[in-house]
Amino acid sequence: MRIAHISDIHANTTPSFQSRFRNLLESVREQDVGHLIITGDLADKATCEEYDIVIDILNDFDFRDGKTLTVIPGNHDVFPLVYQSFTFHLSTLREEFRREPVRISRELYRVLRTYRKFRPGHYRNALRYFTERFRFTFNTAHAVGGEETSGFPYIKHINEEYALVCVDSNFVSPHIKMFLPYALLKYVITKDMFVATDSPICSNGWIDIDLLRKALTHPSMGHKKMIVLIHHYMYSKQQVTRYMSASFAKTMSIVNRKEVIEELSDCNIECILHGHWHVTEEYPVCNGDLRALNGAGVFQKNDSRWNLLELTTNSIQCKAIKL
Ligand SMILES: [Fe+2]
Ligand SMILES: [Fe+2]
């Protein structure tokens, strides 16, 4: 069985996105792939139009049900909705800022403080919207989580030997108070207070360990080999500093990465598929006990690649296909 893994297409409404995405799926089709996996950030601002475009193109290429398509959400699929009223508030302030900079600065500070608190209810609604849009891909999934998490994590038995464990890693634990320091840092870099506030606390990841364990030890798993789908990466400190500073990495990583890896190491995991940091590559996790594939470099300038997985009874062969 052949599986394609892509990630972070960040859909927008421009014709250039549509042609790039069609181009990518054309390349996937050429490799005679039976199943497509997308590990999050399908949309960029999580608008209805972005999802319409993505779903229409996927359907055009016959990725129309859970047998052929599996998706999980990335931070860009949920947080624009979580902070919808916040960004609306900001856009109105932006218009008035030129006329009354002092009053609006004070107002902006008040708004920032109000939205600094993470709101689980808003998160649940945003995740529900994502799963509703991709309902057609969940017809073959077994929900392990309850309504609170829109069923996440999900299990999909893709054949006799392999099962997918589909995790939502975006719910940021409420004790992370990165918002004001992060906004301040962005302001220092951009000197634009509105840019500084456009991405509140939403790039970190967190995984519910109890739910993850429930999925990994689910009675239906038997002796199956598992492929775990997570949006956030598994890079160690050393691996991640190839790409970014340690302080920036703190705003991007899974905050309970250690526990997640401990949990995965105890199980029959064949590989972890993810995105979030925009490169396509394979790397070892936990001194090679686990194997991770990042598929987020699909639209990288000069080096666009996606992951082709060949599943055999004994192992998974993987190669990155260049566009
Ligand atoms: Fe992304
Ligand atoms: Fe992301």
Residue 115 located in a structural domain: no
The DSSP H or E segment spanning 156 is strand 154-157
190: CA distance to ligand 1 center in Å? 20
Is 76 part of any domain? yes
Residue 243 domain-assigned (yes or no)? yes
Residue 253 lies in a domain: yes
Whether the predicted model's global pTM rises above the 0.85 cut: yes
Q: What is the pLDDT of residues 209-219, one digit of tens each?
A: 999 999 999 99
**Ligand having the closest approach to the CA of 202:** 2
224, 162 contact by CB (below 8 A):
yes
Q: Which of 70, 75, 124 is nearest to 232 (CA)?
A: 75
Q: How far apart are the first and last CA of the chain?
A: 21
Residue 296 domain-assigned (yes or no): yes
254: in domain: yes
Spacing, Cα 277 to ligand 2 middle (Å): 7
For ligand 2, an ion, list residues with CB under 5 A: 41, 74-75, 276
CATH of the domain at 295: 3.60.21.10
User: Distance from the CA of 40 to the center of ligand 1, in angstroms?
Assistant: 7
210 within a domain of the structure (yes/no):
yes
> How many folded domains does the chain comprise?
1
Angle at 111 between CA 109 and CA 114, to 5 degrees: 110
Cα of 222 vs centre of ligand 2, distance in Å, is 32
The tens place of each residue's pLDDT in the chain, 323 residues long, gives 999 999 999 999 999 999 999 999 999 999 999 999 999 999 998 999 999 999 999 999 999 999 999 999 999 999 888 777 777 777 778 788 888 888 888 887 777 777 666 678 888 999 999 999 999 999 999 999 999 999 999 999 999 999 999 999 998 754 445 566 666 666 677 766 666 555 555 588 999 999 999 999 999 999 999 999 999 999 999 999 999 888 778 878 898 999 999 999 989 999 999 999 999 999 999 989 999 999 999 999 888 999 999 999 889 999 999 99
The Cα angle at residue 279 between residues 275 and 283, in degrees rounded to 5: 80
Distance CA(237)–CA(310), nearest Å, equals 30
40: left (phi over 0), alpha (psi -120 to 50) or beta: left
* Structural domain that includes position 156: 2-80+136-176+202-322
Work out the number of other CB atoms within 10 angstroms of the CB of residue 276. 27
pLDDT one-digit tens code per residue, 180-195: 666 666 667 776 666 6
Residue 238 placed within a domain: yes
Residues having C-beta closer than 5 Å to ion ligand 1: 8, 41
How far is the centre of ligand 1, averaged over its atoms, from the C-alpha of 280 (Å)? 12
Residue 237 and residue 250: Cα distance in Å, rounded?
10
Tokens of 268: 């029959």
